[in-house]
Amino acid sequence: MKDISYHILDIVRNSLNAGARMVEIHILEYSQTGQLVLKIKDNGSGMKEEMINKVTDPFFTTSVKKKVGLGLPLLKQNAELTGGRFSIESAVQKGTLVEAVFNLHHIDMIPIGDLALTFRTLIASSPDTDFLYRYRVDDCGFDLDTAEIRMRLEGVSLNTREVLDYVTDAIHANLKALKGWK
Amino acid sequence: MDKIRNLADLRELKDKLQSKTKLRDKSETPEQMVQIKVAMATCCIASGSRETMNYIVDELDKRNIDAVVTQTGCMGYCYAEPTVEVILPGKEPMVFGYVDSRKADEIIEKYIKGGMLVEGIIPVNYKKID
Ligand SMILES: Nc1ncnc2c1ncn2[C@@H]1O[C@H](COP(=O)(O)OP(=O)(O)OP(=O)(O)O)[C@@H](O)[C@H]1O
Ligand code: FES
Ligand SMILES: [Mg+2]
């Protein structure tokens, strides 16, 4: 994967495949340690313990159409290449938390990429799922919660172009403000 | 400092869209709508399916075509990624390979709007399994 935004789309797709109705995506940057922590948490079907150990093996997948599962191993590899860490916590019928830690200043650090486009893609194809998108740089940041947006829209579907444009603009504006302050 | 941009201005958007939706609702039921599925597994994403999907969603809206666009897992034609399945109302599913924005444009104009076949169809007797 070329950048973090593609990884997010890919890992959240696992959550959706596991029947999640709610997915939280946290990107937390810490300037002191130079680390970026990516957390993706869902309330999907979860995994048994023996499965958690297998999923970072690229030859393991429960997909019926292909023989390798690459999503989690690739994220693990990209995090570890920067001297970072990767972990999964999961409980059957409860959900899953995937966490990857990157060292931002490492030479092998991948770019963040187009987060707004990833988010737009997720909302466009899963307008009824609740996505919470949280971005923090130290103690500054913003949340974007599609449950809240849906409530305010009172019945208008989220996958209309005007709403998608609104969300995209909001993310761009917030990211710009956030980076501008720093 | 939690929300830099708050959601207050969503209200205006809501009013605008509610009247637009009302106009639309009468015209079509889901079965009459075009269904499009974009494969979005790991390798599909790496080969550009995110961009393809967004291009399709935006262009359908610009060209006033009512369609349901969703994501799906690997369709089994990884050699031809990005792959897209199109179901026109009352027709068999059709799978297209190597769908970049140029190809997507052709599919929308010729196949979806015009009902004409275009190159790039993956010849399969594709059966849904999920
Ligand atoms: N959030 C999750 N909840 C439940 N099961 C999961 C979750 N994430 C991954 N899994 C399980 O782990 C397996 C491996 O995931 P991984 O993303 O590495 O590969 P894949 O999704 O099968 O294929 P690919 O990502 O290459 O398209 C999945 O097939 C699924 O069974
Ligand atoms: S993984 Fe993309 S079509 Fe198979
Ligand atoms: Mg996956």
Closest CA of chain B from A103, distance in Å: 22
| Mean confidence (pLDDT) of chain B | 85
pTM: 0.92
Give me the torsion for CA of A53, A55, A59, A64, rounded to 10°.
Answer: 130
Residue B127 lies in a domain: no
* Confidence check: pLDDT of B129 > 70: no
Q: How many CA atoms lie within 13 A of A180 on its CB side?
A: 7
Say how far apart CA A23 and CA A90 lie, in whole Å: 14
Span B54-99, pLDDT tens digits: 999 999 999 999 899 999 998 889 899 999 999 999 999 999 999 9
Nearest by CB to B5, which of A152, A161, A173?
A173
pLDDT of residue B22: 59
Interface residue of A26, A65, A138 to substitute, partner B, most B CBs within 10 Å = A65
Residues with CB under 6 Å of ligand 2 are A 66; B 39, 41, 43-44, 74-75, 77-78, 81, 83
Task: Report the CATH number at residue B60.
Answer: 3.40.30.10
B105: domain range? 30-122
User: What percent of chain A clears pLDDT 70, i.e. is strictly above it?
Assistant: 97
pLDDT of residue A117: 97
pLDDT of residue B119: 84
Nearest by CB to A174, which of B4, B51, B61?
B4
Q: Report the residue of chain B nearest A174, measured CA to CA.
A: B4
Question: Which residue is it, tokens 């172009």?
Answer: A161
Give B96-122 as a DSSP string. Answer: E-S--HHHHHHIIIIIIIT----TTB-
pLDDT of residue B62: 92
Residue B22 lies in a domain: no
Q: Do A17 and B73 touch (CB under 8 A)?
A: yes
pLDDT of residue B1: 43
Rounded to 5°, angle at Cα A53 from B50 and A37: 50
Say how far apart CA A62 and CA A45 lie, in whole Å: 13
Could you count the other beta carbons within 10 Å of the beta carbon of residue A84?
A: 21
Report chain B residues whose CB lies below 8 A from the CB of A12. Answer: none
Q: Which residues lie closer than 8 Å to A13 by C-beta, 6 or more apart?
A: A71, B40, B41, B45, B71, B73
Residue B37 lies in a domain: yes
Residue B111 lies in a domain: yes
User: What percent of chain A clears pLDDT 90, i.e. is strictly above it?
Assistant: 77
* Confidence check: pLDDT of B2 > 50: no
Q: Which residue has the higher pLDDT, B27 or B17?
A: B17
Residue B5 lies in a domain: no
Question: Which residue is it, tokens 């940057």?
Answer: A29
Task: Report the CATH number at residue A56.
Answer: 3.30.565.10
Q: Report the complex ipTM.
A: 0.91
Cα-only R_g, chain A: 16
Closest CA of chain A from B117, distance in Å: 26
* Confidence check: pLDDT of A135 > 90: yes
Residue B34 lies in a domain: yes
Structurally, chain B folds into a number of domains equal to 1
Could you count the other beta carbons within 10 Å of the beta carbon of residue A176?
A: 11
pLDDT of residue B4: 52
Span A2-42, pLDDT tens digits: 999 999 999 999 999 999 999 999 999 999 999 999 999 99
- Phi, psi angle pair for A44, to nearest 5°: -80, -165
Structurally, chain A folds into a number of domains equal to 1
Q: Are B122 and B78 in contact (CB under 8 A)?
A: no
| Ligand 1 atom showing the smallest separation from residue A56 Cα | 18
